[in-house]
Amino acid sequence: MLKLEPRPEPSRGWSVGSPLLALVITVVLGVLLFLALGKDPVRGLQVFFWEPIRSPYALGELMVKATPLLIIALGLAVCFRSNVWNIGAEGQFIIGAVLAGGVALLAGKDSSRWIVLAILLAGTIGGMAWAGITALLRDRFNANEILVSLMLVYVANLVLSYMVFGPWKDPAGYNFPQTKSFEAVTQIPRLMAGSRVSIGLLIAAAAVLALWIFLFRTRAGFALQVGGLAPAAARYAGFSSRKALWTALLVSGGAAGLAGALEVAGPIGQLNPYVPAGYGFAAIIVAFVGRLHPVGMVFSAILMSMFYIGGELAQSRLGLPKSLTGVFQGLLLFTLLACDTLIAYRLRWGRAPRTATLPARVAQPEGGA
């Protein structure tokens, strides 16, 4: 029989190999899914894994999708490593987009290009303020940060809806719930002509380096990780759990808000009800598939953006629902959770234990032997 046997210590090899095995299993399950839907599995895999990288323009679009995912995931990694469970990055993304959009709407045709910095700063502050609500409730009232941050996502959605259906609604927009298009001066600068890749990609690359230095080369980063792994040891060493809570949530919220600002002042160019694209939730998968390591999250963000683009192409070219993107994301997450079992356990073949048979009881004559 096949059984799980605890390892003497966690396997470093499987810590790296588990995401790769999870990806292989996801691909196999994807083939079965395409067959069940009556579609050519080879064509389906081509749409998801080849079309997003087949040309320079496609690679550019891949980077456009990967940029917000990576930035949000980097912030979430700070939270998760410090054992603070911020599940509401989507709400912080939305509020960052709303505040950035508000600053962009103030711009006129004669505004300076430096307004882009104000837009990005407003988005970052918006995300930090929204995450700060969770930090405050956890710090003062010991509220569960998972529930608080998640519920605030719905509140953020309502704030966005109120603004685009109400005071910021474009009067010349034929009654569509959207703001007017932002002035060209507010657009995030692009890296090259003919591509939508913006300086957000450079910001994401700088954030990867900054997080690596913070986590592995600074005392503050070390304190956060010790607090997440061993809270009692952190208290004994004099590390403040309260400071770790606020630092983790504000960094995470600021990163999500920055991603929201880059999105509305970049590819979208206005505020509308479709700003929430699920990046905040997908970034949770990016963070864990990337093993909460800055470099690992680069590759997982690219993989997740391939799922986004593949889902859009599957809708237009194969006639499949766009929700297929979420299906692949969910498959990757659950297969990763299953494969992570191999880090602490190993599979062993062994014989099933025999059931001991008791000898039949000899009947005794009445009155003794």
Distance between CA atoms of residues 103 and 182, nearest Å: 10
Residue-wise pLDDT for 294-330, tens only, equals 999 999 999 999 999 998 898 888 888 888 888 999 9
Which residue is it, tokens 């600068």?
Answer: 189
Q: How many CB atoms lie within 10 A of CB 166?
A: 9
Q: What is the mean pLDDT of residues 165-189?
A: 93
**What Cα–Cα distance (Å) separates residue 273 from each residue in 159, 179, 236, 268, 300?**
10, 10, 48, 11, 27
- Out of 12-26, 101-115, 228-242, least confident range: 228-242
Task: Give the pLDDT confidence score for residue 81 in this predicted structure.
Answer: 93
Which residue is it, tokens 């109120």?
Answer: 162
- Out of 160-169, 200-209, 210-219, 356-365, least confident range: 356-365
Which residue is it, tokens 């509220």?
Answer: 143
Q: Report the amino acid identity of residue 354.
A: R
Task: Give the pLDDT confidence score for residue 222 in this predicted structure.
Answer: 87
137, containing H or E segment: helix 115-141
Token digits of residue 77: 């990694």
Distance between CA atoms of residues 368 and 104, nearest Å: 102
Residue-wise pLDDT for 269-298, tens only, equals 999 999 998 999 999 999 999 999 999 999
Q: At what angle do helices 200-217 and 56-81 cross, to 10 degrees?
A: 30
Question: Which one is predicted more confidently, 17 or 96?
Answer: 96
Average pLDDT of the chain?
90
Task: Give the pLDDT confidence score for residue 173 in this predicted structure.
Answer: 86
The SS3 assignment for 345 reads: strand
Task: Give the pLDDT confidence score for residue 10 in this predicted structure.
Answer: 86
Burial pattern 279-295, b for ≥16 Cβ within 10 A else e, equals bbbbbbbbbbbbbbbbe
Q: What is the mean pLDDT of residues 14-25?
A: 91
Distance between CA atoms of residues 325 and 308, nearest Å: 6
The SS3 assignment for 191 reads: coil
Q: Would you say residue 182 has pLDDT above 80?
A: yes
Token digits of residue 317: 């070219």
Q: Would you say residue 218 has pLDDT above 80?
A: yes
Q: Which residues pair with 346 in a beta bridge?
A: 5
Nearest to 76 by CA among 63, 64, 62, 93: 93
Token digits of residue 255: 């990163």
Enumerate residues 6+ apart whose C-beta is below 8 A from 247.
78, 82, 220, 224
Distance between CA atoms of residues 60 and 63, nearest Å: 5
Q: Would you say residue 248 has pLDDT above 60?
A: yes
Tell me how many degrees the CA angle 76-77-82 measures, rounded to the nearest 5. Answer: 100
Reported pTM? 0.91
Residue-wise pLDDT for 31-69, tens only, equals 999 999 999 999 999 999 999 999 999 999 999 999 999
Q: At what angle do helices 12-36 and 294-317 cross, to 10 degrees?
A: 0
Task: Give the pLDDT confidence score for residue 176 in this predicted structure.
Answer: 92
